[in-house]
């Protein structure tokens, strides 16, 4: 007779809450990740800024004519900001782009009005001027291995002096109306076409910096020139090309400025502070921690809306300088904090 005891049934497994589907978890983590929140801060602030000014001045701010004015008058800043992206990605400051833009503006008007050149050759001469200025900057900086901050500050002063000398310090008025027609008179989707020129250049710069080998090399050079050299990159050639491209794009902004104003005045409208504020503010959004074209475009019009709203509220002119300066300080500090956080995250991941 067997003495074995019957087997006891196994205790029931403890019940657990059903796990969330993996797709839901990954979707939620992407939406609420720190990187996504960082990239969204400026667009959210942009929407809040529009809502605030719309609430304060609903009768004027939300009129479509006000927005077309913002889009049309700030195309020059948009294009000029694009000229800074490649040098800054390389780790170089170019302080001469505003003066290159101003010199091109005066040169095109001077040739067209004072010397009766046709508009087409005048524009080509202006583009050649921008290329020459960028080439001079790049050659001096790369060939002699000198600080671009000092050199572009000096060459910018030279370009500004030439802009005053050409028309004998006078405003050049009477530029061909064809240029005005193809900047602010003609519209596409009820917006002046100069805005669309800026958008086209912004998209080209976005593609160049994001999807081309040149853009990736520029990013590598900006992160560490010594490592880039050891990796076989032609660092000098990449930096030189960036200054040449900056000069060309800056000259385009000067030509657009002629069309917007219908005249050229030496030394008018120094935009350097505003475009640097836009570029560093754009570094905090879309691709946080990197100079990027789309973020810069958003920042240009964030600043433009801020200035427009303050004007509607009756702010004094000096408030614009305070606004641009404060934004530049905040943007530089924010981009620095973002880079520090990313470096710390990368270090933790490596250990």
Q: In this predicted model, what pLDDT tens digit does every residue of 253-266 receive, in sequence order?
A: 999 999 999 999 99
pLDDT tens sequence across 27-78: 545 545 666 777 788 888 899 999 999 999 999 999 999 999 999 999 999 9
Lowest mean pLDDT among 95-99, 205-209, 314-318: 314-318
How far is the C-alpha of 30 from the C-alpha of 35, rounded, in Å? Answer: 9
Report how far residue 278's alpha carbon sits from residue 75's, in angstroms, rounded to the nearest whole number. 13
- How far apart CA 80 and CA 191 sit, in angstroms, is 19
207 and 294 in a single domain? The answer is no
In the three-class reduction of DSSP (H, G, I as helix; E, B as strand; rest coil), residue 166 is classed as: coil
**Are 295 and 177 part of one and the same domain?**
no
Q: What is the pLDDT of residue 2?
A: 47
d(C-alpha 252, C-alpha 260), whole Å? 12
Question: How high is the pLDDT of residue 40?
Answer: 80
Which carries the bigger pLDDT value, residue 114 or residue 335? 114
C-alpha to C-alpha distance for 141 and 151, rounded to whole angstroms: 7
Decide if 33 is inside a domain.
Answer: no
Which two structure tokens, joined as six digits, stand for 124? Answer: 């080509």
> Domain count of the chain?
2
CB atoms within 10 A of CB 191: 17
Specify the 3-state DSSP secondary structure of 83: helix
79-88, 97-106, 149-158, 222-231: which has the minimum mean pLDDT?
A: 222-231
Quick check: 152 pLDDT over 80? yes
Q: Please say which residue of 269, 286, 312 terminates a domain.
A: 269
Share of the chain above pLDDT 70, in %: 88
Overall average pLDDT of the 101-125 stretch: 97
Mean pLDDT of 66-92: 95
Average of per-residue pLDDT across 231-252: 97
Q: What is the pLDDT of residue 41?
A: 80
My answer on whether 245 and 294 are in the same domain is no
Instruction: Give a yes or no: residue 21 inside a domain.
Output: no
- Tell whether 340 and 215 lie within a shared domain: no
Mean pLDDT of 152-156: 97
- How is residue 164 written in tokens? 């005053």
- Residue 151 — very low, low, confident or very high, per pLDDT cuts 50/70/90? very high
How does pLDDT run across 179-237, given as a tens digit for each residue? 999 999 999 999 999 999 999 999 999 999 999 999 999 999 999 999 999 999 999 99
**pLDDT confidence of 1, banded at 50, 70, 90?**
very low
How much is the mean pLDDT over the chain?
88
Which residues make beta-bridge pairs with 263?
173
Please say whether the beta carbons of 256 and 152 come within 8 A. no
Asked whether residue 270 carries a pLDDT value surpassing 70, the answer given is yes
Q: Using an 8 Å Cβ cutoff, are 234 and 72 in contact?
A: no
Q: What is the mean pLDDT of residues 169-177?
A: 95
Tokens for 306? 């801020």
**110 and 156 together in one domain:** yes
- Do 278 and 257 lie in one domain? The reply is no
Residues 61 and 146 reside in one and the same domain: no
DSSP state of 185: I
Domain that holds residue 160: 79-269
Domain stops at, among 250, 269, 288:
269
- Residue 233: inside a domain, yes or no? yes
Domain check: are 103 and 43 in the same one? no
- Do 52 and 183 sit in the same domain of this protein? no
Same structural domain, 201 and 285 = no
Looking from the CA of 226 toward its CB, the CA atoms found within 13 Å total: 0
Q: What is the mean pLDDT of residues 9-30?
A: 54
Least confident interval from 45-49, 99-103, 141-145, 236-240: 45-49
| 326: its two tokens | 């404060």
Asked whether residue 27 is domain-assigned, the answer is: no
Q: Note whether 215 and 150 are same-domain residues.
A: yes
Name the pLDDT band for 300 (thresholds 50, 70, 90): very high
Residue 192 within a domain: yes
Identify the domain boundary among 223, 251, 269.
269
């Amino acid at each position: 007779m067997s003495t074995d005891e019957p087997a006891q049934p196994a205790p029931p497994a403890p019940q657990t809450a059903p796990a969330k589907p993996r797709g839901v978890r990954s979707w939620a983590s992407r939406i609420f990740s720190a990187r996504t929140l960082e990239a969204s801060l400026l667009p959210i602030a942009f929407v809040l800024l529009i809502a605030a000014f719309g609430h304060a001045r609903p009768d004027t701010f939300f009129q479509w004519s006000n927005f077309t004015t913002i889009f049309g008058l700030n195309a020059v800043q948009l294009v000029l900001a694009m000229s800074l992206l490649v040098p800054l990605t390389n780790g170089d400051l170019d302080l001469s782009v505003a003066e290159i833009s101003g010199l091109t503006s005066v040169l095109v008007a001077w040739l067209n009005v004072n010397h009766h050149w046709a508009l087409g050759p005048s524009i080509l001469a202006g583009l050649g001027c921008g290329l020459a200025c960028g080439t001079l900057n790049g050659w001096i900086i790369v060939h002699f291995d000198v600080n671009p901050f000092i050199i572009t500050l000096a060459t910018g002063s030279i370009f500004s002096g030439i802009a005053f000398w050409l028309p004998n310090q006078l405003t050049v008025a009477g530029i061909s109306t064809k240029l005005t027609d193809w900047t602010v008179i003609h519209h596409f989707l009820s917006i002046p076409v100069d805005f669309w020129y800026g958008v086209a250049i912004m998209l080209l710069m976005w593609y160049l910096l994001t999807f081309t080998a040149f853009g990736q090399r520029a990013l590598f050079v900006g992160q560490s020139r010594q490592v880039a050299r050891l990796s076989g990159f032609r660092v000098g050639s990449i930096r030189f090309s960036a200054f040449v491209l900056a000069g060309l794009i800056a000259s385009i902004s000067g030509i657009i400025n002629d069309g917007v104003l219908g005249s050229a005045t030496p030394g008018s409208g120094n935009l350097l502070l505003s475009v640097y504020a836009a570029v560093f503010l754009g570094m905090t959004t879309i691709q946080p921690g990197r100079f990027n074209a789309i973020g810069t475009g958003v920042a240009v019009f964030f600043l433009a809306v801020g200035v427009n709203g303050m004007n509607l509220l009756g702010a004094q002119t000096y408030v614009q300088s305070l606004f641009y300066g404060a934004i530049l300080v905040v943007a530089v500090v924010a981009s620095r904090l973002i880079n520090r956080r990313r470096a710390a995250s990368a270090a933790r991941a490596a250990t």
